[in-house]
Amino acid sequence: MKVAVVGVTGLVGNVMCQVLTERNFPLTEFIPVASTRSVGKKISFKGNEHTIISMEDAVAARPDLALFSAGGSVSLEWAPKFEAVGSIVIDNSSAWRMDPTRPLVVPEVNAQVLTGKEGIIANPNCSTIQMVVALQPLHEAYKMKRLVISTYQSITGTGVKAVKQFDAERTGQATGKNEQAYPHPIFNNCIPHCDIFLDNDYTKEEMKLVHETRKIMGIPNLAVTATAVRVPVHGGHSECVNIEFENEFDIENVKSLLANADGLTLIDNIKSNEYPMPLAAHHKDGVFVGRVRRDESQPNSLNIWVVADNLRKGAATNTIQIAEYLVNNNLVKAAASTVA
C-alpha cells in the first residue's frame, strides 16, 4: 500500500501524517509530496527520515492513495494525473466537492456511496463535516426541514499565514499588509468574514455549508442559511445549529440519539457547566455536541452546539477515515484495477 501525502509541509498535511501514525494505517511506502521549494527537504514519518519529492515524481510512483491538501488550483491540475495512473485521490480542497461526478464523503454519514470506481473523492469543508455528523442521526429520526447555522471558526482553518498574523498581533509585532491573512486584526477580535464574499452577499464559506450539506445528506431541497465568523481560537470550530424538523421530537430521545451515534460525544450537563468547547476538542478526532434544547419560538425546532478540531475531524482525520473505509472494504485494488 503506497500512500502519497500531497502538501505534506502544510498544516493539514502535517496532521495527516500524525493521524496515519496514530491510527496505524496499513501503508508499506510513504511518499511525501510538496511544492518545488520544499523538494529535497527531509521529513520524519514513523521515526524514519523521508525526502520530499515533486508532483511529477509522485505521479510516476503510482501511489495507491494520494491524500491531497495543497489547494484547489493544485488539485484541479494534478488530481486527474494521479487518477490517470490508477491512484485514488482523496482531496481536501473545494475543487471537486460540488462536481456531480465526484462523491463528497463523511464516513459516518454517507460512506456507502463509495463503490471502488472513484478516482477522485472530495473531502468536505471542515465546518460541514462536523455538523453533518451531528445532524445525521437526527435527520433519520425526525426528517430535517430547515437549518440556521452560525459558525465560530478557528484561525487554523485559514492556514499558517493566519496563525502568524495572530501570533504577531498577540505579541505586539508589526506586520505588513502582505503578511496579513485577514483585512482586520484577529487577536481579541471576531471577523464575520470567512473566505470571499459572493454576489449574494454571503461568503463562500457560508455557501459551502448550504451546498455541501445538501449533497452529503442527499437532501437537495433542504433550506439552509449560514453566517460564518472567524474567531481568535487555535483549537477548533464551534457551531450553533438551529434545526427545524418535519416531525415532533422528544428531547430525551434526541440526547440518546446523539449519545449513541458513531463519531459523536454528547457533553450536555449544564448543572456542572459541562458543554463542548474548542479547547477541549483540540487534538481529538471526534465531534462533540451539547447545549441540546428545544427552540421554544418555533414548532418542531431544536438548538445544538457542535465542536470539533478542524484540522483533525474537519480535514485530516476525515481523509484517513475515508482511506480506511476503502481499504477495509477492498475498494482500493478495485479502483486501481480499472486502469489499463
Q: Which amino acid is at 74?
A: V
Phi, psi for 301 (deg, rounded to 5): -125, 150
Query: At residue 48, what are phi and psi to the nearest 5 degrees?
Result: -115, 150
Helix, strand, coil share (%) of the chain residues, nearest 5:
35, 25, 40
With contact defined as beta carbons under 8 Å apart, do 27 and 54 qualify? no
The answer to whether residue 50 is catalytic is no
Q: For this structure, is 17 an active site residue? A: no
Side chain identity at 206, as an amino acid letter? Answer: E
Give the active site residue among 50, 126, 139, 282. Answer: 126
The answer to whether 275 and 322 are in contact (CB under 8 A) is: no
DSSP class per residue in 176-208 = -GGG-SSSS--TT--BS--S-B-TTSSBHHHHH
Which grid coordinates are listed for 266?
Answer: 454528547
Which of 17, 50, 139, 237 is catalytic? The answer is 237
Phi-psi region of 40 (alpha: psi -120 to 50; beta: other; left: phi over 0): left
Give the residue numbers annotated as catalytic, written as ranges.
126, 237
